[in-house]
Structure 1
Amino acid sequence: MDATGQIGAIGRTRGMLGRRQLRLATIAFAGSTLAWIAMFAITVSVVIWNARDSVRNETESAFVLAKAAATVSLPTSFGHKDILAEATRIATELRSQRHVTAELRDPTGKPIDLPPRAAPDHPAPEWLARLLRPQPLRDVFPIVQYPNMLGVLEIRTEPQDEIAEVWRDLRVLVPLLMVTALAAIGVTLAVTGLVQRRLGQLGAALDRMRDGELDQRAPQTGLAEVNALADGVNALAAHLARERAENRHLQARMMTLAENERARIASDLHDEIGPQLFALQAAVGQATRAEADPALAETLAAVARHSDAIRRGVRGAIDDLRLTPTEGVSLPDMIQELLIEFEDMAGDTTFALDADAAPCEPDEAGQIAVYRFVRESVLNALRHARPGHVEVSLTVEGDHLLARVCDDGTGPPAQGRTGLGQAGMRDRAAALGARWTPPTRLDGRTCTEFRIPCP
């Protein structure tokens, strides 16, 4: 697998992992929310648990003190004071205290009117009161003035005030917890967003590397862990770039050797088969001119036709094999000579070359690739499209040479009918780091391109 393929595999793996797993922001948000819910539940549970103990202790203490005060303050049944009035005063005082209340009833059980007990400003809801309300305590003190029973004084625990205080604290605590949760979730999402942006920069660099831009480098992000990952990606990209350069050098060398071998084969065909075919044709011609019977003359004419066909086939094979650019001749000049040859082949078609004044020159393997591209593209147009005009252009775009062949013929062959010539152009482009664009129909013309970097 070449460098681009390895980077592509990394990108595809990253894409599959992204589809199979949750997004980081989703995980962070869900985790922060669940953590806040757990913290909220624990905090409220601890507050309510402690509040239950506090309410119970406070009410029990207040009840004990109220009982002691009533026991000490109530006059004896043999006294000469107004015992009922004194009991009313004690009950009123107890009703004004926190955590306890008192009720005064006559001998028939009818309540005696006392000042109303002050209600809390913000009473707790019933569900909280049920959670915090302790077991009620009560005690009854008879009011007797011998020998008459004047009534009873009942003292009870009343935790409403203490529960209201707990509710007031919760009303302050819950918003604080919510603000804290929002702040924590916001900070978590901000940090997650920062990490995502840094990973996004790293992913964009990987995408560019996957597209073949191995000179791209993953940026340093300021995060130590991401920087370590970026350093690893950059080291991999540098290694793959070196391997790709070496592979392209070897492929270019192989192409050059292949061209040399093609030239040697063409020379052997020209030097060995050519003279033999010429001698055969000369002998056939001499035999034909001699007196012979009609059957022999017909046979000799057939031999002459076949030998001429063989000669033309060998000549075409030699022309195909001898495509090595001439040393010392610029690429535009070689293309111009090629178009002149095509003018002799297709007299009904006009050819034009548009080349920059000083186009960049690829190396030897690149020149061979451009030369073959132009030759194969023009041949395809002549064979399949019957054009009236063919235009070849060589332009410089940055550090690349762009070769384009356009014709006004009937268009490229149907899709799926890719010849060996086009397959060869695609393979040469991949070997040299170039880019070949197949024939495309646009505005009544068919154009194909070959873009190759210049050294």
Structure 2
Amino acid sequence: MDGHSCSRRRLSHCYNVPIRRQRNSRLSLRGRLLVSILATLLLSLIAGGAFTYWHAVAKIETEMNAAIVVGSRIARNAVDDWEEATDPARRLALLIADFEGDRHLRAMLVGPDGKVVHASRVAQAETPAPAWLVSLLAAPAKQAKMDLPAVFDRFGTVVLQTDPRNEVAEVWSDMWLTLSVLTIFCALVLAFIYWTLATTIRPLNNLTSAFARVGGGDYRERLTERGPRELKRLSQSFNQMIERLARAEAQNKRLQQQLTSVQDEERADLARDLHDEIGPLLFAADVDAVAIEQLAKAGEYEAIPHRVGIIRDAIGRMQKHVRDILGRLRSAMLLDVGLAHAIDNLVAFWRAHRPKLAVSVDVPEESFGEAIDGTIYRIVQESLSNAVRHGSPTAISIVVKAGADGSIDIRVTDDGGGLKAGNGGSGYGIIGMQERVATLGGRLDISNNHDGQGVVVSAHLPAPAPSAAARTYETHEATLQ
């Protein structure tokens, strides 16, 4: 089949392959990969943010609890020597001052009336955290009232209160550092992946363009075989495919030219046969018909039967030639009478044209099936035609044998001039035989005789595989037995 005879619209009918129309994706392969990787990184950042949040909350809670415990211990230690205190008020003021600049605690002296008399100031962070982050991470401030000796009761009560802002600021600083590192990491990963995809997909874009040009009929396209191992193998396979397509296209053109040449030769042969064989007979019949007319006018009726016999003989000879021509034009129909009889008719045709040619035939009477019979007949037909036309043989042998395993061997031998150098099987007929034999899974060999006289055409056809229906029938028969 000519590859150019199938348009894309009818491609599925030519090759029995359904064509599915696919919608073009809005994103390219590179875009889809980048979006997938970006989504993965974003999900990783979200998961890392959630983990960091819970870790920060737990850390701040632990630090605040520890600050309360340590601060309470410091306050109790400060008033352990209350018996030696000569000025309890000043001792409490010094206690509050001890907490000045603490990062997590604020100490307050609350008077008996509930007012704050003294209060320490919490140290200020160098980079304060935003208020929303403090409210998000920190729990409400914790307070602890100190149990002081009774001598201090009239001056008030010491209260310790947590202040998580410095701890949140520290978490905020760590988060900024971690976020910066992750951002740089993600940016580098995306950049590296983008570069990798750009260098990897570029050959695929070249392959797409190459396929488009090949689809337009340009079989000179070749890909550079380099890059990663997978892409290199893909390029090698593409180049091999294009080389095969180019060879098939060239062979297809040669076959078309040879077919046209063979058709022209067949037409010329038919025209020559009609002119050389049928033409003289028609002319002779016309002459005899005119003679009959003249004899009838002259009243010489006794001579008319002789002329009629001559015309009938000419018509019979014309019918024979017409049958021969029809046999050449429609040789496949001869298989309706059986393979052996069809080959006998073929041999009879060539004997009529070459009376001195001796042809021996050894063909079984049974049929091997329509496809196999047709292939055998075509092999014998082409071998006979080539031998008579090109080899000038005096004897031809035709042998068809069926093996015990169901295989079939065909052998056609002649004693003609043999194959000429450089012409060992490039003709259209030989290619046709090779294709028919290959379709049945067999092999065809064409070579000169061992003594150099004549050509041997041998073909081997394997046993045909049983059909599904036959296998089912055989299984059923075996079950019944």
**TM-score bucket of the superposed structures, by smaller chain:** 0.5 to 0.7
Name 1:96's counterpart in structure 2.
101
Match of 1:174 among 173, 179, 182: 179
Q: Distance in 1 between matches of 2:196 and 2:167?
A: 43
1:65 alignment partner in structure 2: 70
Letter in 2 for 1:168: S
- Shift of the 81–96 alpha-carbon distance from structure 1 to 2, 3 Å rule, reads farther
Of 218, 221, 235, the residue aligned with 1:216 is 221
**1:25 pairs with one of 24, 30, 34:** 30
1:242 is matched with 247
User: Contact conserved, 2:107 with 2:120, CA < 8 A, in 1?
Assistant: no
Matched, 1:56 2:61: yes
Distance between the aligned counterparts of 2:261 and 2:123, measured in 1?
Answer: 107
Distance in 1 separating the partners of 2:50 and 2:175: 11
Measured after TM superposition, the shift of residue 38 of structure 1 is 1.5
Contact 1:140 1:155 in 2 (8 A): yes
Residues 226, 147 of structure 1: alpha-carbon distance in 2 compared, 3 angstrom cutoff: closer
1:256-293 deviation per Cα after TM superposition (whole angstroms, max 9, x unaligned):
111112223343455567778999999999xxxxxx9x
- Unaligned 5+ segments in structure 1 are 286-291, 293-455
What's the counterpart of residue 314 of structure 2? none
Question: Structure 1 residues 24, 128: closer, same or farther in 2, change over 3 A?
Answer: same
Counterpart mapping for 1:338-353 below 5 A: none
User: 1:277 & 1:150 partners in 2: Cα distance?
Assistant: 154
The residue that corresponds to 2:128 in the other structure is 123
> Residue 155 of structure 2: SS of its match in structure 1?
strand
Task: Indicate the larger mover: 42-51 or 59-68.
Answer: 42-51
CA distance in 1, matches of 2:19, 2:35: 23
CA distance in 1, matches of 2:179, 2:230: 37
Contact 2:82 2:149 in 1 (8 A): yes
Q: Structure 1 residues 218 and 13, CA, compared in 2 at 3 Å: closer, same or farther?
A: farther
Which residue, out of 53, 68, 79, partners 1:74?
A: 79
Q: TM-score, normalised by structure 2?
A: 0.51
Q: CA deviation at 1:231?
A: 2.0
Residue deviations 1:194-237 (CA, integer Å, cap 9, x gap): 22211011122222222223343232231211122222222222
Q: In the superposition, relative to structure 1, how do residues 147 and 272 fare at CA in structure 2: closer, same or farther (>3 Å)?
A: closer
* SS at structure 1 position matched to 2:219: coil
Q: Which amino acid aligns with 2:59?
A: S
Partner residue of 1:231 out of 228, 236, 239: 236
Give the letter aligned to residue 194 of structure 1.
T
Distance change (3 Å), C-alpha of 1:159 and 1:2:
farther
1:267 aligns with 2:272: yes
CA shift in 2, pair 1:76/1:14, >3 Å:
farther
Q: Residue type of the partner of 2:39?
A: L
CA contact (8 A) 1:70 1:90 kept: yes
Query: Larger relative contact order (C-alpha < 8 A, sep ≥ 6)?
Result: 1
Q: Could you report, residue by residue, the CA deviation over 1:161-203 in whole angstroms, capped at 9, with x for unpaired residues?
A: 1111001111222233222222212222222222221101112
> What CA distance in whole angstroms lies between the structure 1 residues aligned with 2:19 and 2:104?
66
Contact conserved, 1:4 with 1:209, CA < 8 A, in 2?
no
Distance 2:203 2:20 in 1: 17
Contact 1:94 1:100 in 2 (8 A): yes
Q: Number of aligned pairs?
A: 291
Question: What is the percentage of aligned positions where both structures have the same residue?
Answer: 24
What is the SS of the residue equivalent to 1:19?
coil
Q: Displacement, 1:98?
A: 1.8
The one-letter code sitting in structure 2 at the alignment partner of 1:64 is V
Quote the residue 1:153 is aligned against: 158
TM-score, scaled to structure 1: 0.54
The one of 44, 48, 52 aligned to 1:43: 48
Structure 2 unaligned runs (5+)? Answer: 291-296, 298-481
Note closer, same or farther for the CA distance 1:13–1:30 as it changes in structure 2 (3 Å cut). farther
Q: 1:78 to 1:163 in 2, by over 3 A?
A: same
| 198, 201, 208: which one aligns with 1:196 | 201
**Equivalent position SS for 1:81:** coil
1:133 aligns with 2:100: no
Q: CA RMSD in A?
A: 4.0
Question: What is the DSSP-based 3-state SS (H/G/I as helix, E as strand, rest coil) of the residue aligned with 1:96?
Answer: coil
* 1:83 positional shift: 1.6
- Distance in 2 separating the partners of 1:196 and 1:66: 65
1:100–1:158: 8 Å Cα contact kept in structure 2? yes
Deviates most, 137-146 or 61-70: 137-146
Q: Distance in 1 between matches of 2:95 and 2:150?
A: 16
Contact 1:124 1:164 in 2 (8 A): yes
Q: Do the aligned partners of 1:122 and 1:164 also contact (CA within 8 Å) in 2?
A: yes
Amino acid at match of 2:262: L
Paired residues of 1:143 and 1:149 also in contact (CA < 8 A): no
Matches of 2:60 and 2:119, distance apart in 1: 26
Contact 1:105–1:151 under 8 Å retained in 2: yes
Tell me how far apart the structure 2 counterparts of residues 37 and 217 of structure 1 sit (CA, whole Å): 42
**How far off its partner does 1:242 sit?**
2.9
